[in-house]
Amino acid sequence: MLDQLFIGFATALEPNNLLFIFLGVLIGQIVGALPGLGPSAGMALLLPLTFGLEPVTAVMMLAGIMYGAQYGGTLTSVLIAVPGEASGVMTAVDGNAMARKGRAGAALSISAIGSFIAGIGSVMAVALLAPPLASFGLKFNAPEYFLLALLGILAIGSLGGSPLKSLGAALIGLMIALIGVDPLTGTPRLSFDQPTLMKGIDFIPVVIGVFGIAEVLASLERIESVQPIRTRLRDMWLTKADWMKCRFSIVRGGAIGLFVGIMPGAGASIASLLAYLTERKFSSTPEDFGKGAIDGVAAAEAANNAASHGAAIPMLSLGIPGSASTAILLAALILHGIRPGPQLMMQESVLVWGLIASMFVGNLFLLILNLPLAPVFAALLRIPYVYLAPAILGVSLVGAYAATLDITTVWMSLFFGVLGYLMIKFDVPRPPLVLALVLASLMEMSLRQALLLSFGSPMIFVERPISLILLTAVIAALLLPVFAAVRRRRDALRAGVGTGR
């Protein structure tokens, strides 16, 4: 394996390949920073340009776009609270809260460092454990995916101050996800005979409206009182206390991201959500989450970057795409005359190990690019908000239009902007709505596939060991808050008796 890895580094460090790795991560950053595009769309747009390249060079560049976009999405998440894609929602929550406190530089720095460490760790796992980890990922079938998504939906209730409001927002997200055409029967549902709604409502207009446009609308009420963020130089960089608080968050987030990434179809959004919720449980200051917790940013960013690398494991070892982005990579291999599958690592070892080595190099490029520029990006927040608000609105609407090249998406974004504004006014948390929308399709399809496999019998959820473990976790997620509430009430009654009330 080490011999193969040395050959891979020799391939990746060729001047021509270095140039295209750098171009890939740079393009990925730009694509990730534009709301509405995302890595898979950016890779698909540039796929025809790789026809004149060597297969290994083409795949290295496309892979650079894939994981570079995870870094790029951090910029808009932290600076203007508009996630480039679903995996950036949790970063937008705490990263933007840190930016409002003058710590945008620190948020961007910990994102870059966390992503680098988690990315390098995931690449090492790809090199060491690709075949066994891929075979484990294949043990997840429809019942496991349904329970995993359901666990995520239930965990959403802890994202806001009021679990009832959080679950209510999640319910709205699930209802939005049902609009369109039934994926199994092709029957229209909740479309009210409107051709526009027959296509369903995409994630992009919802996230742009609920986060970006809603923030602008809320800020316009107090635009004269909104002052530019005055960032001090000492607040731009990580302190020793920041690093001590985040070092294990990065490790935990990276491990969760890798685990989720190897499961085909799970995606970086589930990884970042699970890592964020896990970190909240481990944190010594859980009350800071949602208000600017740097360890929450570190965990979410480490997880989504690790997941994007982990998705390469089933692709390289079994020829099964672990995400939309790795599906584009597989398409690139086929277009260049390479047959993906279990024999890929044997038959195309130079390409596979060159790709793995290029991920080490690409992550290093991204760290070198991002760390020095964190204060520069953070300095954008010093612009008076009267000028910044129209710019945010413009970027949001351009991103919405670019996603589909359809003006209807812009109108949808404005509608969801008003909805997000009302949620701000009534103190309803917004992340649960977006995350439920993301998880809904996975949960619905997995539930229906599981019941089709079992001919309608729910016993399929307890007959498989992994699904039984996940079902136990779901039941615990339902019952533990009830037990905690009963215990608090009992303690309050005892305290009242003790004081003679």
pLDDT in tens, 362-394: 888 888 887 777 667 666 666 776 777 787 787
pLDDT at 351: 81
Q: Per the domain annotation, does 117 fall within a domain?
A: yes
pLDDT at 408: 85
Average pLDDT, the chain: 78
pLDDT at 12: 83
Percentage of the chain modeled with pLDDT above 70: 82
Q: Per the domain annotation, does 424 fall within a domain?
A: yes
**125-148 CB burial, b ≥16 within 10 A, e <16:** bbbeebeebbebbeebbbbbbbbb
Q: Which domain holds residue 449?
A: 2-224+235-498
Query: Six-digit token pair at 286?
Result: 């859980």
Residue 411 near residue 128 (C-beta atoms within 8 A): no
Q: Per the domain annotation, does 163 fall within a domain?
A: yes
Residue 178 near residue 190 (C-beta atoms within 8 A): yes
Distance in angstroms (rounded) separating the CA atoms of residues 183 and 196: 17
Over residues 82-104, mean pLDDT? 78
The upper half-sphere exposure of residue 446, i.e. CA atoms within 13 Å in the direction of its Cβ, equals: 22
Instruction: Rank 179-183, 318-322, 348-352, 428-432 by mean pLDDT and report only the highest.
Output: 179-183
pLDDT band at 323 (very low <50, low <70, confident <90, very high): low
pTM, rounded to two decimals = 0.70
Sign of CA dihedral 315, 320, 325, 327: positive
Q: Per the domain annotation, does 230 fall within a domain?
A: no
Percentage of the chain modeled with pLDDT above 90: 1
Residue 179 near residue 197 (C-beta atoms within 8 A): yes
Distance in angstroms (rounded) separating the CA atoms of residues 139 and 239: 42
pLDDT at 131: 61
Question: Does the structure show a pLDDT above 70 at 282?
Answer: yes
Over residues 4-9, mean pLDDT? 80
Angle between the 142-155 and 465-498 helix axes, to the nearest 10 degrees? 20
Question: Does the structure show a pLDDT above 70 at 356?
Answer: yes
Distance in angstroms (rounded) separating the CA atoms of residues 214 and 393: 10
Distance in angstroms (rounded) separating the CA atoms of residues 111 and 70: 10
Over residues 326-331, mean pLDDT? 74
DSSP output for 218-250: HHHTTTTT-PPP---HHHHS--HHHHHHHHHHH
Distance in angstroms (rounded) separating the CA atoms of residues 128 and 356: 11
pLDDT at 236: 60
pLDDT at 340: 67
Q: Per the domain annotation, does 396 fall within a domain?
A: yes
Higher pLDDT, 138 or 46: 46
pLDDT band at 267 (very low <50, low <70, confident <90, very high): low
Question: Does the structure show a pLDDT above 70 at 118?
Answer: yes
Q: Smallest Cα–Cα separation from 208: which of 29, 101, 73?
A: 73
pLDDT at 142: 83
Give the CA angle between residues 174, 176, 182 to the nearest 5°: 85
Q: Euclidean distance between the first and final Cα of the chain, in Å? A: 72
Instruction: Rank 55-59, 150-154, 265-269 by mean pLDDT and report only the highest.
Output: 55-59
- The predicted-structure confidence for 403-439, as pLDDT tens digits, reads as follows 677 888 888 889 998 998 898 888 887 777 877 887 7
pLDDT at 53: 81
DSSP output for 35-59: TTTHHHHHHHHHGGGGTTS-HHHHH
Distance in angstroms (rounded) separating the CA atoms of residues 105 and 112: 11
* 181 beta partners: 188
Burial class (CB within 10 angstroms; exposed 0-12, middle 13-18, buried 19+) of 325:
buried
Query: Six-digit token pair at 266?
Result: 């799970």
Q: If you ran DSSP here, which 8-state letter would residue 213 be given?
A: I
Question: Does the structure show a pLDDT above 80 at 60?
Answer: yes
**430-444 CB burial, b ≥16 within 10 A, e <16:** bbbbbbbbbbbbbbb
Q: Per the domain annotation, does 229 fall within a domain?
A: no
Query: Six-digit token pair at 210?
Result: 């609920």
- The predicted-structure confidence for 146-192, as pLDDT tens digits, reads as follows 887 787 777 666 555 577 787 888 888 889 988 888 877 778 888 88
Question: Does the structure show a pLDDT above 80 at 327?
Answer: no
- The predicted-structure confidence for 200-244, as pLDDT tens digits, reads as follows 887 778 877 887 788 778 777 765 555 555 555 555 677 788 888
Longest Cα–Cα distance of the chain, Å, equals 84
Q: Smallest Cα–Cα separation from 217: which of 398, 426, 412, 422?
A: 422
Q: Per the domain annotation, does 73 fall within a domain?
A: yes
pLDDT at 109: 83
For the CA atoms of the chain, what is the radius of gyration?
A: 23
Domain count, the chain: 1
Residue 376 near residue 233 (C-beta atoms within 8 A): no
- The predicted-structure confidence for 127-140, as pLDDT tens digits, reads as follows 777 666 656 666 77
Distance in angstroms (rounded) separating the CA atoms of residues 197 and 193: 8
pLDDT at 181: 85
Q: Per the domain annotation, does 124 fall within a domain?
A: yes
Residue 304 near residue 83 (C-beta atoms within 8 A): no
